[in-house]
Structure 1
């Protein structure tokens, strides 16, 4: 089976670092971000023959279109990384409702939509891997990050449940929770 991967949020930060590592491991990749030029720049920076796409993960049609483009240009995706995320740090009393909705839509709903789209092919192939990028804040909390924490905590529950749903189809689902090292905590927790 050819190694085809997609990294949502692959144009910068953790997503770009993951994409670089996957490229080194021989994956043909789609790097996906809201900014097409940033995704193209990341693909060029990584080197090789990788696809760059624009997608807002909070919009189901964008996600569907991205998967259609990937299948047409790369083949069926068998490794999905969800690194797309936004953060609007502020105290809950000062948080605008639209900022709450955008964080929940991008950080949680977006991963749900990309997983749903990827699973169609993974189930047919009887195998695949999904890695959702969470945050230590999702389990530990942090002042000024109530909404972000809720979105990342929800991602943990979603990932655990999805792993149980698709395990018999030889599809692995994991969530990693990067965060700052504090006394008694590992640099990144995994579930």
Structure 2
């Protein structure tokens, strides 16, 4: 028996990168994965690759209506939600004084509000069940700061604080809420961010004690553990997965 047999798991932003890696790991552990992404084709492609009863749905996490419709469809079709992984995220790297307010709004809407929307929609089902695992994907930028990512760091720091408070509120319902903070990871998003700075990846690799960027499977293993009953007495925690770049 694998750790997540018969569990229903929603993973946001799972059409590529870290989210896809998480979806693949949860499926390998026995979960039926609801792959959600703003790109419907990507979501369906990943779900098809996972096989089983996994499904791919288009969801815009910045829209409460879109999230609510997705959760209604999942509970109506699959009957429950055992695991929620709030992974969807976006960033644009630039000095704060050069940044544009429209980009602030997008960063906060996707990273912070997306997590709030999904938790608000899913948690009533988990409360009714008396069981659930929420894993929020924040960032070490939210723990220690990151030059060129001021608003992103603020949004991710908000997720860390939200996770701790939600863990306190949900504990009486036997719902675990934890946070995983990636360091720099080898993902399409990082490639987009570093397109104008070809030396970025090499500089990051030199700074990381393990001398490499994180891979999606590095994050996926941590998420799978926190989503499992092996982590049943762990809640309100923030786990850095950064190859030693940040230590606490």
Report if the CA contact (8 A) 2:180-2:241 is conserved.
no
Unpaired runs of at least 5, structure 2: 185-206, 210-239
Distance 2:56 2:179 in 1: 24
Provide the secondary structure at the position in 2 that maps to 1:88.
coil
Deviation at 1:49, TM superposition (A): 2.2
Q: 2:102 aligns with which of 98, 101, 119?
A: 98
* TM-score (normalizing by structure 2): 0.73
- Residues 77-128 of structure 1: CA distance to partner in whole angstroms, max 9, x if unpaired? 1100011000111111121111101110110011011011111110000010
Q: Which residue of 2 aligns with 1:130?
A: 134
Q: CA RMSD, aligned part only?
A: 2.0
- Residues 107-155 of structure 1: CA distance to partner in whole angstroms, max 9, x if unpaired? 0011011011111110000010000001111111111100111111110
Distance 1:190 1:128 in 2: 29
Aligned length: 190
Distance 2:73 2:9 in 1: 13
Deviation at 1:182, TM superposition (A): 3.8
Q: Which residue of 1 aligns with 2:190?
A: none
Distance 1:11 1:75 in 2: 23
Q: Which residue of 1 aligns with 2:125?
A: 121
Provide the secondary structure at the position in 1 that maps to 2:170.
helix
Unpaired runs of at least 5, structure 1: none
Deviation at 1:48, TM superposition (A): 2.2
Distance 2:36 2:10 in 1: 7
Does 1:17 find its partner at 2:72? no
Does 1:162 find its partner at 2:217? no
- Residues 20-64 of structure 1: CA distance to partner in whole angstroms, max 9, x if unpaired? 111011111110000100101111222222111111101100010
Q: Which residue of 2 aligns with 1:53?
A: 57
Whichever structure has more strand as a proportion of its residues is 1
Distance 2:247 2:31 in 1: 23
Q: Which residue of 2 aligns with 1:171?
A: 175
Does 1:143 find its partner at 2:155? no
Report if the CA contact (8 A) 1:4-1:74 is conserved.
yes
Q: Which residue of 2 aligns with 1:75?
A: 79
Deviation at 1:190, TM superposition (A): 11
